[in-house]
Chain A
Amino acid sequence: MNCLEFHRAKLADPRRLPLEAQSHAAQCAACAAFANSVDEAERDVERALAAPVPEGLADRILLRVHGARPAWKVWALAASIVLGIGLGVAALLYPTPAGEHYAREAIEHVIAEPESFTTVHLADVPSLDELIRTSGGRLKAPLGNVRYVKLCPVEGGTGWHIVFETPEGLATLLVIPGQPLGTTQHASSAEWSALARPTRRGYYAVVTPSAQKTSHVDQLIRERIDWDA
């Protein structure tokens, strides 16, 4: 086995090196060092992929597959069916305006990722500058102290989830380069207010706890980011 073959074998399956490859590494310092670096990267990948598992998952699976339903659960099921029908009728009578779909998506995204407000994650302006540039914009002035940047799955592909500090508290900016949007949309829930505004390459959304703050942050973003660069 030569060094090239060793590299291929190690990269294809770091944990199952054939005996021949192990012998090669024992005699080749360069390949032994390469193997160490692959192992180190592999540990990093393992850590990265260890997504937190919901508590009680196995129990819920077993309950679903062969759990007997006690009487109160039958009543709960009946109640949920009635509620479901009620909600369905309400949705038909009072449909969500189509003009707020992406703004509402932004709110749901923020609700589904609460760690974005409690985690400091990749916060540096040069990165944000490049991120905005690859999304079709130009950062004219710093947005504020960026605390969180993450590439997230969104409708139509992926988008950047950014949380930054403003004088009025934390604000969320979602940059979705691949999803065209016709006009600006607004949406609100009990706790959040969102705005989705079209850009040349897609749209961005701002989410804060109030309509007033969302408007202020949107103004800040428009002042500091040129989306038509």
Chain B
Amino acid sequence: MPISHSRQNFEQTVRAYSADLYRYAYWLCRDRHLSEDVVQESFARAWKAWSELRDLAQAKAWLFTIVRNECARSFSRNKPALDIEAVGEAELPALPSFESQLETAQLVSLLPETYREPLLLQVLGGFSCSEIAAMVGTTEGAVMTRLTRARQALRKQYEPAQSRRGTK
């Protein structure tokens, strides 16, 4: 039986994005088994609604959004997003000095969710600030602010760690 065009597109999409989506899910929920469940369930949902996808170029952003929602569903953490204007520099996590020796992965995990999520979408998904804004339902300016603060927070820890390692 010939495979339908839409099924072929779907299979290519699965092979193209499942790894990035898994990593995104992993960094949202920090559980390997749950991450795979989330990604599988997300693709199952995507396939059910595949005919509604008008432009294949939008599939990636659409899938990241489904994974994001699926993680939220898994955690029942549908709390309203933090208002970025209410989150100041002072509310960045107080990292004890030894944590500068921890690997970047752990520093990322210590970022507040409101900063970490746009960083994940940009680094793992390659999305622009305006695309991320559309995905998380905020303004491009707010995303730029979150990303700037996230990287500032990481740099504060990253630079001393690098100089201690002598790798700068």
Contact = CB atoms under 8 A, between A and B. Distances in A.
Contacts, number: 115
A54 B36 contact: yes
Contacts of B23: 49-51, 53
Nearest to B45: A65
Interface in B1-51: 7, 10-11, 14-15, 18-19, 22-23, 26-27, 30-33, 36, 39-40, 43-44, 47
A39 to B, nearest CB: 11
A126 interface: yes
B105 A48 contact: yes
B69 interface: no
A56 to B, nearest CB: 10
Contacts of B148: 8, 11-12
Contact of B96 (A64, A65, A130, A150): A130
Nearest to B43: A61
B65 interface: no
Given A45-B104, A127-B101, A8 B123 contact: no
Nearest to A44: B104
Q: Is the interface of B mostly helix, strand, loop or mixed?
A: helix
8 contacts: A12-B148, A38-B155, A51-B26, A53-B18, A54-B36, A57-B22, A61-B39, A64-B43
Given A8-B148, A13-B122, A122-B102, 20 more contacts: A11-B147, A12-B143, A16-B128, A38-B151, A38-B155, A41-B155, A42-B123, A49-B23, A49-B108, A49-B124, A50-B23, A53-B19, A57-B19, A58-B14, A61-B39, A112-B33, A127-B98, A127-B101, A151-B110, A152-B30
Interface of A: 8, 11-16, 37-38, 41-42, 44-51, 53-54, 57-58, 60-62, 64-66, 112, 122, 124, 126-127, 130-131, 134, 149-153, 158
